[in-house]
Amino acid sequence: MEETKCPHCGEALDVGSIPRLHMERYGRPVLAKTVCCGKAVRCTPYLAFNVRIYDGPKEEDDWGAEFND
């Protein structure tokens, strides 16, 4: 994964574990103080997910839409 740079000083961004854990748990943006230079950053979490072909027995998705053959 490409590392995020601090928009203030350009060093590798580090906001500490508490803002990271908060974003993981609640999925909401946080206002955090950077470890590198002590300035304010707005951090917005985004969801990443893995995809693979489904070849199981279900014929529709979780919302009831039928798959094409």
Nearer Cβ to Zn ion (40/47): 40
Judge whether 28 and 44 are in contact, CB under 8 Å.
Answer: no
As a whole number of angstroms, the distance between CA 27 and CA 13 comes to 19
Q: Which of 12, 21, 31, 37 binds Zn ion (CB under 5 A)?
A: 37
Is position 41 an interface residue for Zn ion (rule: CB under 5 A)?
no
Nearer Cβ to Zn ion (18/37): 37
Minimum CB separation from Zn ion for residue 3, in Å?
A: 13
Strands 40-43 and 30-33: antiparallel
